[in-house]
Chain A
Amino acid sequence: MSTEDTMHNNEHDHDHHGNFWTTYVFSTDHKMIAKQFLISGIIWALLGGALSVIFRLQLGFPDMDLSWLKPVLGEWIDIQGKLDPEFYLALVTMHGTIMVFFVLTAGLSGTFSNFLIPLQIGARDMASGFMNMLSYWFFFTSSTIMFISLFLETGPASGGWVIYPPLSALPQAMSGSGLGMTMWLVAMALFIVSTLLGGINYITTIINMRTDGMSFTKLPLTIWAFFLTAIIGLLSFPVLLSAALLLIFDRSFGTSFYLSEIYIGGEALPNTGGSPILFQHLFWFLGHPEVYIVLLPSLGITSEIIATNSRKPIFGYRAMIGSMLGIAILSFVVWAHHMFVTGMNPFLGSIFTLLTLIIAIPSAVKVFNYLTTLWKGNLIFTPAMLFSIGLVSYFISGGLTGLFMGNSAIDIQIHDTYFIVAHFHLVMGSAAFFGMLAGVYHWFPKMFGRMMDAKLGYIHFWFTFIGVYLIFFPMHYIGIAGFPRRYYSWTNFDTFNGFTDLNMFVSIAAIFTFVAQFIFLFNFFYSMFKGRRATANPWKSTTLEWTTPVDPGHGNWPGDIPKVYRWPYDLGKPVNDEYAAKFSDEEMKNVPDFIPQNIPFSKTPETNFPNENELIALEDEDDKAIEVK
């Protein structure tokens, strides 16, 4: 053990420690894999954002000459410089797929679960570094295939990110349903394998590799969030795999799982007896849990950041865990709220209305707990803290609109309008993105040993925070006015032919927000090499990752893994009456306002509560017991 540890100390001499390939490419170190996921996620986010800018140009400036995009889009821009309507749908589809799966699932969970799980539970690495590496490379292969599909002559998949058949099953219906859709399915199958490998690893690690004392009631909320996310993923992604499998059979082998009584392209297809609705049930059985797979990690990250930067414990630690558990369980029984107007049995619709509105309760609890954590805190606005507050704001505004749509009677009118687009971009898209950005700002010092520039972070935050609201808030209005989503243009309808100005406004806001992300990019890459050197615990935080050296090497801790004695939120703990009576003002001031998890109670008599003092004796015995061994 000890020789191994000294080896870790010499990590930076990088003489005996692997070559370029094993260190940076086929690495099995969880921190490197996390960075790989992060960088891939950032690249995908840029691409996904760029796609949205193109279709926002179409919506905001329908008369614009897009010829200048010809070098990139080629045939998809016609001679008059108009975007092809089918490619518009391809853009929307790929934007959704990329953002939901590649950025906010792989980029977010992949980065932070990998990075934080071993560091925060006190483990040297993941349960299986090899599986972890496989997980990344499956993701990479999947990404490559999805990326290549963007350049197919027939276009990438274009049937919406939910790929409802028959549209996605029949190349006659749209050209994107040909090879593009095949590649989409292959890429997603690989993606699912990647997610499952990752998830199995996360769960195994959290269950089996916690350091001594790290019971489930002492886990940071981040870990709880990652844990539940992985479980949700493990239970729901296989279902998407089934759905995709049956779709592949329908597409390639002529079965009729989802196809029935179709006349298309001048001929009646032989398929009968299939049910398109079946696909929707299977898809949304994944699809709804998926939105929480996207959101929960962000909620975990912000819980941690808000507590740290409020200098007080997260309010209602147990309630937070409880609400996440509630959300995780309920997320499996609400899927059909996406299908109220599919002609599904109305009684089922009632049941799902009921269950859907129940899921709003744990969400509300989380919001109130965040607010109470801020209340009477000593708030430090690091960029990470700002983004966390931003997340709470989006979570509220997007969650509230859920109450409209969860009510099946109201949903009839607003289903598939821009109201939905506003809802999920706020509550899922932007909130999860903010969680991710907050996480990057917060853990950057641990990832790269340097600090990101705070001022640029502030500018980035305010531009993005306001920008996102400027994009999505007006969409509620457009949605209330009835505008359907996934429309190439609205000029064909008198009903929808107003609001050109508003659409233009939204598009400008979108471009503005997109451009603002380059501030982050610059900050990120610049700070990686030139940023101010970080200290080991720059935010005065309590969790275990901050007890590692500035640049934790392979194995994370040079010496023994720290043991855990207390919960992760001993922030701003008051001096107890006994000591308050005898401490001078100066002494009072010097009591630190945070106590890391690895500090035994015996070292902090001045802040212990009576029941904690009782534990001290035991601690000592335990230490001895281990030493004897």
Chain B
Amino acid sequence: MFQVVIGIGILLVVLILFMLFRIGTLLDVVKGSNQKVVTKSNKVNAALFVVLLVIGFGWIFIYSYVYFDDYNLPLASEHGVETDYMFWVTMAITGVVFLITHILLFIFPIRYSYEENKRALFFPENHKLELIWTIVPAVVLSVLIFKGLQVWGDITSKAPEDAEVVEVMGQQFAWTPRYPGSDNRLGDFDYRLIGDDNKMGVDFTDDGSYDDFIPREIHLPKGKPVLFKIRARDVIHSVYAPHFRVKMDAVPGMPTSFHFVPTKTTAEMRVETGNAEFNYELACAEICGRGHFAMRMIIVVDTPEEYEKWKSEQTSLVAQNEILFNLVPDDKKELAKVKGKVKTEVAAVESSEEVKK
């Protein structure tokens, strides 16, 4: 019933609009205004550009000024300072160009709108002008590029030797981090070893893997270089940590990496943003399937001391899950026990607890 009424209402509105339109066109014919080159509409259209210019730019400026902080994502990495600076410099330059070109584009219509007895200026070419506006953008762009390439070079340079290594693996639809443990060496992996228990395909014949651990959150030390070693299990994902200005694709079969220095702990950030709930987050930035929008992982930045403490509290993979421990070749089981701090009896219990959680 209700829908029918709405339907009839819409129909009536459309009909009325149509009638108005018919009457309008008929009137035009009667008045003969359809014969003229231009009608009053010409001035109206021209004026509307000016109106739009004023309202549009007014709105943009006021809104940007008032809500600036809402959109300016808090920053917590060293290279982010550089890229953000460049971003805002580019914003300033392009903003000015945007403003000037639009003032011209929207003022010209009213300034030069049609007049019956006027003749436009015949002005087909002027090499000097053309040269100027080829060279000026070229120079400005060169400056931007020069700075940009320098920063890009730093960001993509080789990671420092002492960087904290974290392996981050994307899969549909979650992230899994792996830490190298006390030996600072990630054990090898092979995608054919992946299974329900060994979800990263860690190769447990490799000594380096015995103290590796997979935490539920990523922890990073403040002020120390961190190296993300990135890979994917199934399709392409993209490691995106917005507050650190970090983004790097996770590609199956082709490991990538990104290194950066976190500059603020989570606690400091909570103070800065005035949000006691604040957390750094890791998101996925490359379409990867139905759960693409939900690949969240929390990143915690600790002070170096807290970080070391946290690391020492983590349980290694072999200690966590007996099945994984059993993958270790017999002659290396002792080594694995020592390196992975396996308490043989409780290992099984802990892993079942793990499952419950």
Q: Chain A residues in contact with chain B, CB under 8 A?
A: 84-86, 89, 159-160, 164, 166-167, 170, 173-174, 259-264, 268, 272-277, 310-319, 341-343, 346, 349-350, 353-354, 357-358, 360-361, 364-365, 367-369, 371-372, 374-381, 386, 389, 392-393, 396-397, 400-401, 403-404, 407-410, 412-417, 453-456, 458, 462, 465-466, 469, 473, 477-478, 480-482, 484, 486-490, 492-496, 498-499, 532, 569, 571-574, 589, 593
Determine the chain B residues whose CB is within 8 A of the CB of A573 once the complex forms: 122
Interface residues of B in 144-196 (CB under 8 A from A): 144-145, 148-149, 151-153, 155-157, 172, 191-192, 194
Contact B112 A482 (CB under 8 A): no
Residue of A164, A400, A453, A572 touching B236 (CB-CB under 8 A): A164
Contact A261 B45 (CB under 8 A): no
- Known A276-B253, A389-B109, A455-B24; judge A495-B152 contact (CB<8 A): no
Contact B90 A350 (CB under 8 A): no
Q: Kindly provide the distance from the CB of A282 to the nearest chain B CB, expressed in whole angstroms.
A: 15
Q: Does B12 contact A (CB under 8 A)?
A: no
Q: Kindly provide the distance from the CB of B105 to the nearest chain A CB, expressed in whole angstroms.
A: 6
Q: Does B326 contact A (CB under 8 A)?
A: no
Determine the chain B residues whose CB is within 8 A of the CB of A488 once the complex forms: 290, 292-293
Determine the chain B residues whose CB is within 8 A of the CB of A403 once the complex forms: 90, 93-94, 141, 144
Q: Kindly provide the distance from the CB of B209 to the nearest chain A CB, expressed in whole angstroms.
A: 18
Residue of B83, B137, B281, B289 touching A494 (CB-CB under 8 A): B281
- Nearest residue, chain B, Cβ from A473: B60
Contact A589 B121 (CB under 8 A): no
Binary A-proximity of B257-275 (CB < 8 A = 1, otherwise 0): 1000000000000000000
Contact B238 A341 (CB under 8 A): yes
Q: Kindly provide the distance from the CB of B199 to the nearest chain A CB, expressed in whole angstroms.
A: 9
Contact A415 B120 (CB under 8 A): no
CA distance A318 to B127 in the complex (A): 10
Residue of B108, B117, B137, B233 touching A374 (CB-CB under 8 A): B108
Q: Does B4 contact A (CB under 8 A)?
A: no
Extra contacts besides A260-B253, A569-B124 (13): CB < 8 Å: A166-B234, A167-B235, A262-B253, A315-B126, A346-B156, A361-B134, A377-B120, A378-B115, A381-B45, A396-B97, A396-B102, A494-B281, A574-B122
Determine the chain A residues whose CB is within 8 A of the CB of B343 once the complex forms: none
Interface-centre pick from B126, B145, B233, B243 (highest chain A CB count, 10 A): B145
Determine the chain B residues whose CB is within 8 A of the CB of A593 once the complex forms: 119-120
Determine the chain A residues whose CB is within 8 A of the CB of B102 once the complex forms: 393, 396
List the 4 closest A-B pairs by CB distance, nearest first: A260-B253, A343-B256, A346-B156, A312-B120
Determine the chain A residues whose CB is within 8 A of the CB of B148 once the complex forms: 353, 407-410
- Known A173-B289, A378-B119; judge A494-B149 contact (CB<8 A): no
Binary A-proximity of B20-38 (CB < 8 A = 1, otherwise 0): 0100110000000010011
- Known A164-B236, A494-B281; judge A342-B41 contact (CB<8 A): no
Contact A455 B104 (CB under 8 A): no
Contact A85 B291 (CB under 8 A): yes
Jot down 28 A-B pairs with beta carbons below 8 A, ordered by A: A262-B252, A264-B172, A275-B254, A311-B114, A315-B126, A317-B125, A341-B249, A343-B249, A343-B251, A349-B152, A364-B134, A365-B130, A372-B123, A375-B104, A375-B121, A378-B114, A379-B112, A389-B105, A393-B106, A409-B86, A409-B149, A410-B86, A413-B247, A416-B286, A453-B21, A487-B292, A490-B293, A593-B119
Residue of A86, A346, A572 touching B152 (CB-CB under 8 A): A346
- Nearest residue, chain B, Cβ from A465: B52
Q: Does B73 contact A (CB under 8 A)?
A: yes
Contact A454 B94 (CB under 8 A): no
- Known A376-B120, A386-B45; judge A159-B296 contact (CB<8 A): no
Q: Does B348 contact A (CB under 8 A)?
A: no
Residue of B82, B112, B240 touching A409 (CB-CB under 8 A): B82
CA distance A486 to B236 in the complex (A): 14
Contact A493 B194 (CB under 8 A): no
Contact B242 A413 (CB under 8 A): yes
Determine the chain A residues whose CB is within 8 A of the CB of B349 once the complex forms: none
Contact B73 A481 (CB under 8 A): yes
Contact B288 A494 (CB under 8 A): no
Residue of B44, B201, B235, B287 touching A486 (CB-CB under 8 A): B287
Residue of A86, A413, A469, A498 touching B290 (CB-CB under 8 A): A86
Q: Does B42 contact A (CB under 8 A)?
A: yes
Determine the chain A residues whose CB is within 8 A of the CB of B80 once the complex forms: 413
Q: Chain B residues in contact with chain A, CB under 8 A?
A: 21, 24-25, 34, 37-39, 41-42, 44-46, 48-49, 52, 56, 60, 64, 67, 70-73, 80, 82-84, 86-87, 90-91, 93-94, 97-98, 101-102, 104-106, 108-109, 112-115, 117-126, 129-130, 133-134, 137-138, 141, 144-145, 148-149, 151-153, 155-157, 172, 191-192, 194, 201, 230, 233-236, 238, 240, 242-243, 245-249, 251-257, 277-279, 281, 283-294, 296
Contact B121 A572 (CB under 8 A): yes
Q: Kindly provide the distance from the CB of A418 to the nearest chain B CB, expressed in whole angstroms.
A: 11
- Nearest residue, chain A, Cβ from B280: A495
- Nearest residue, chain B, Cβ from A402: B94
Contact A262 B233 (CB under 8 A): yes
Contact A408 B253 (CB under 8 A): no
Contact B108 A379 (CB under 8 A): yes
Residue of B84, B133, B253, B289 touching A364 (CB-CB under 8 A): B133
- Known A260-B254, A360-B137, A498-B70; judge A492-B296 contact (CB<8 A): yes
Q: Kindly provide the distance from the CB of A574 to the nearest chain B CB, expressed in whole angstroms.
A: 5
Contact B246 A381 (CB under 8 A): no
Q: Kindly provide the distance from the CB of A310 to the nearest chain B CB, expressed in whole angstroms.
A: 6
Residue of B52, B83, B115, B157 touching A413 (CB-CB under 8 A): B83
Residue of B121, B249, B290 touching A85 (CB-CB under 8 A): B290
Determine the chain B residues whose CB is within 8 A of the CB of A493 once the complex forms: 281, 283, 296
CA distance A160 to B292 in the complex (A): 12
Q: Kindly provide the distance from the CB of A586 to the nearest chain B CB, expressed in whole angstroms.
A: 12
CA distance A573 to B130 in the complex (A): 21
CA distance A509 to B130 in the complex (A): 38
Residue of A263, A377, A407 touching B86 (CB-CB under 8 A): A407
Q: Kindly provide the distance from the CB of B62 to the nearest chain A CB, expressed in whole angstroms.
A: 13
Determine the chain B residues whose CB is within 8 A of the CB of A167 once the complex forms: 235-236, 287-289
CA distance A360 to B174 in the complex (A): 39
Determine the chain B residues whose CB is within 8 A of the CB of A272 once the complex forms: 253
Contact B130 A413 (CB under 8 A): no
Determine the chain A residues whose CB is within 8 A of the CB of B106 once the complex forms: 393
Contact A313 B124 (CB under 8 A): yes
Interface-centre pick from A274, A477, A569 (highest chain B CB count, 10 A): A477
Determine the chain B residues whose CB is within 8 A of the CB of A159 once the complex forms: 287
Contact A268 B137 (CB under 8 A): no
Determine the chain A residues whose CB is within 8 A of the CB of B152 once the complex forms: 346, 349-350, 353, 408-409
- Known A371-B108, A409-B151; judge A315-B254 contact (CB<8 A): no
- Known A316-B130, A487-B293, A495-B243; judge A381-B113 contact (CB<8 A): yes
Residue of A89, A453, A465, A495 touching B281 (CB-CB under 8 A): A495
- Known A264-B172, A264-B234; judge A89-B245 contact (CB<8 A): no
Residue of B104, B121, B156 touching A349 (CB-CB under 8 A): B156
- Nearest residue, chain B, Cβ from A363: B137
- Nearest residue, chain A, Cβ from B63: A477
Interface-centre pick from B60, B115, B120 (highest chain A CB count, 10 A): B120
- Known A166-B236, A374-B112, A376-B112; judge A342-B191 contact (CB<8 A): no
- Nearest residue, chain B, Cβ from A380: B114
Contact A160 B287 (CB under 8 A): yes
Determine the chain A residues whose CB is within 8 A of the CB of B126 once the complex forms: 315-316
CA distance A263 to B170 in the complex (A): 11
Determine the chain A residues whose CB is within 8 A of the CB of B285 once the complex forms: 415-417, 484
Determine the chain B residues whose CB is within 8 A of the CB of A407 once the complex forms: 86, 90, 144-145, 148
